[in-house]
Structure 1
């Protein structure tokens, strides 16, 4: 894939977007969970996720092919969502989460391989931008300053004393309009301190950084050398896996788990800030979702099967289960198929603590949805009990499950939509709607959707153990063996 090149105006190298898409988004539980976090969910638009919206935003002539840094668990989701919007990217797989400093360094190293003069736009995949044109113009202006050796960040004029954002004190003006040297960078303060920052003219840190790859790596070498050392080693030893670049696990694990804010921005003397008016929100909590969504006359955000009486200034959302609220104000109520959140809107930032408690209790719902996505499609558990489990399975056209066997369970596959090509112990047979295949314990088997429509079936598992780890993969086109 060719990288680099001139901008449409010929005024320099294109900006390389480095999109960090490996976060878990636990503050938006139960909609966002470890196995399918908020950046891949359609929070605002029924057509696109925030990841897809971010990609579209950097798809114009000002930008080079994006670098997407994500988790191994999300590699096929990234690829599928890229394909759905007709875009390409260099997808890089982190063996484990090491926070934003390592992800930014990975992007800078790879961008530097494209061009020694590469300028990067480091941004998260889960933010909302209301004015895309203003954002692109801000990136162009910030890139001008970044080419002089600055690490630029986009600052946002605060609307309230938020405690979930970092704050920036602008210093002396730079040569570009609304651009300043960064006098002070501080991470999330308490409410009293945040109020003082508003009075003193501080800006919110949006977490969007524009910098040359050379400058970023030089400052990280200076302030966080263990991060860059581990990242360079992991990129050097990386291997290509299908269409992905898989970082070396041993090297990458040596990188300290630290954000780029703490690792660099609080320490560097080369930072600058450009005040943006692009309408930014990091949509990290339910109260932030509430702030930017359309409201009723009673100040409510209502989505799905919801009925209210004497309720105002609240966010009530349901993905299909009837949800009713009576006589409550300033609350968040979010209903999914397997979990319900009820919280004071003002305390929605503490949802991550609730998720942590659920994890200590061993609750599957803390990190997994009922619907689990796979490269070939998805499955959703319908019921589970002693010695049985029932699933709804969807295999997309061309999807091919691994050749596998189980030690502890037999399976029945009942086709309800489409056509299944089933292989059992080397024998291939087609099954149509209302037909069933029986897979005895220990047999080798796989399923393929040879058609042009989704294949849907009901799977009934029977045996002494029905866990996902009772899968022995013998062959897999998605390289999961």
Structure 2
């Protein structure tokens, strides 16, 4: 780093569940393909694949998502400069401060802060906004991108623009909290208010100086956490005790609403934070009846609706203004116009221990080596489908409370039990006694799929003693 290229910093640690049941805390919306073949995170990476403007991205996330970040970047063909792991959530101020210090290790640089879960059209208007923000940052300003409002949205904060600067950016008169609909209409009518997008551009030296003065506790914690950071495989783990000392505060409150250097770049771009299912509907290509559907879906006499299914067949008949989201283990049905109510549904689910897990995990869980799906669970037994990517292997491990039986249904498996290694092909099986050290690998070129039958007194995922692990897990 330290070149004339902009260093993009992507914030990818959010655990939002407003797009439940597809988005859950273990696989949130930034890692889902909601409007096309790529996930929102991958779409963000692709926007940055511009060597004339950008260097390699720095991604800030948490340990839980580190392999998702690395895997999806690899799938998108984008090389990352660094993946910075937050040990605890401390909002955006501390995350941005730490990432800025890391990005500027080799010298001052321009930094572009982006969310990982926004849907943005890459066109001339967007590139013009980026270039204007870069010019403002080079002039010593802390630039924020103000989206030209298309409706009196009450879910966004607003920025009131002041006088125009030489760069084409405007001074910031004030930031406005999420307004009522009437107030939003009034502000939009005035013509100088913009949605606060949460995207920023600044010179690392200017931001660091302002952070020291305006948010000294944030800067102290971020600086100490970077100094205490350790490299783990391809990841940078910030010091936990040091980072935890930071106030839990957004960069807007900590710095941008206090600084005299804030500028807003009017950005008439196609942008959505995809904050609810109605936003996904608006951002997707609808049919003649106004319907958006994906997956095994049939619609009859249905209008202005969103119907998505991951696996099960869904037929919808005679409805309007509906949203139907079907996953492997949960279905949400409601009015599309009431999509914001999903948050309340999730809160109710979280109150009940029997349903709280539905807000956290999918039936299919993904791991750096592949993943598994829960097929059937009973008293003292569980059936899973395992899938292992070509060339990948699980940790060398053992279980205190369960034995396992593996049946290969596709591909070739290399199985180590104790000191014995054997190869299994389709329709062959092996038994792993309780307590035996074992490892599963896929030496082939196609996906390995197995059926795993577990039996024992305790079948929780935490009954794993890892003796060796390629991915640095304990």
Shared fold per TM-score greater than 0.5: yes
After TM superposition, list the pairs within 5 Å mapping 1:7-406 onto structure 2: 13-46=4-37, 48-60=38-50, 61-89=52-80, 90-116=82-108, 118-177=109-168, 179-201=169-191, 202-362=193-353, 363=355, 364-406=357-399
- How far the C-alpha of 1:133 sits from its partner, in A, is 4.1
Q: Distance in 1 between matches of 2:79 and 2:162?
A: 39
Distance 2:188 2:338 in 1: 21
Q: Deviations over 1:179-222 (max 9, x none)?
A: 21111112322222222221222111111101111222222223
Paired with 1:308 and 1:450, the residues of 2 have a C-alpha distance of 43
Asked if the contact 1:337/1:370 (under 8 Å) is kept, the reply is yes
The reply on whether 1:410 has 2:410 as its aligned counterpart is no
In structure 2, the residue matched to 1:425 is 418
User: For 2:140 and 2:96, how far apart are their aligned partners in 1?
Assistant: 17
More off after superposition, 196-205 vs 444-453: 196-205
Counterpart-to-counterpart distance in 1, 2:369 and 2:284: 34
Distance 1:28 1:258, change over 3 A: same
- Structure 1 CA distance for aligned equivalents of residues 368 and 444 of structure 2: 17
Counterpart contact for 1:380–1:392, Cα < 8 Å: yes
Per-residue CA deviation, residues 20-51 of structure 1 (Å, 9 max, x unaligned), is: 011113111111111111111111222x2111
**1:355 partner SS:** helix
For 1:182 and 1:98, the matched residues in 2 are separated by 26
Contact residue 57 and residue 132 of structure 1 kept, 8 A = no
Distance between the aligned counterparts of 1:466 and 1:299, measured in 2? 46
The range that moved more, 432-441 or 134-143, is 134-143
Q: 1:434 aligns with which of 413, 422, 427?
A: 427
Distance in 1 of aligned mates of 2:47 and 2:130 = 11
Question: Hey, what's the Cα distance between the residues in 1 that align with 2:336 and 2:245?
Answer: 39
Could you say which residue in structure 2 is the equivalent of 1:8? none
**Structure 1 spans left out of the alignment, 5+ residues:** 6-12
Question: Is 1:461 aligned to residue 454 of structure 2?
Answer: yes
CA contact (8 A) 2:388 2:449 kept: yes
User: Secondary structure in 1 aligned to 2:341?
Assistant: helix
Aligned counterparts of 1:240 and 1:301: Cα–Cα separation in 2: 44
Give the Cα separation in 1 of the matches to 2:208 and 2:278: 36
3-state SS in 2 of match to 1:113: coil
- Retained in 2: the 8 A contact 1:377–1:395? yes
Preserved CA contact (<8 Å) 1:67 1:92: yes
Which 4+ stretches in 1 moved above 4 angstroms? none
TM-score by length of 2: 0.96
Backbone CA RMSD of aligned residues: 1.5
Range that drifts further, 203-212 or 343-352:
343-352
Aligned residue for 2:104, secondary structure, equals helix
TM-score normalised by the chain length of structure 1? 0.94
The equivalent of 1:9 in structure 2 is none
Please say which of residues 316-325 and 119-128 is displaced more in the overlay.
Answer: 316-325
| Alpha-carbon contact 2:146-2:267 (below 8 Å) kept | yes
SS in 1 for 2:130: helix
Deviation string 1:71-96 (CA, Å, 9 cap, x unpaired) is: 11111111111112222111111112
For 1:216 and 1:29, the matched residues in 2 are separated by 36
CA–CA separation in structure 1 for the residues paired with 2:159 and 2:10? 22
**Conservation of the 8 A alpha-carbon contact between 2:148 and 2:269:** no
CA contact (8 A) 1:75 1:91 kept: yes
SS in 2 for 1:26: coil
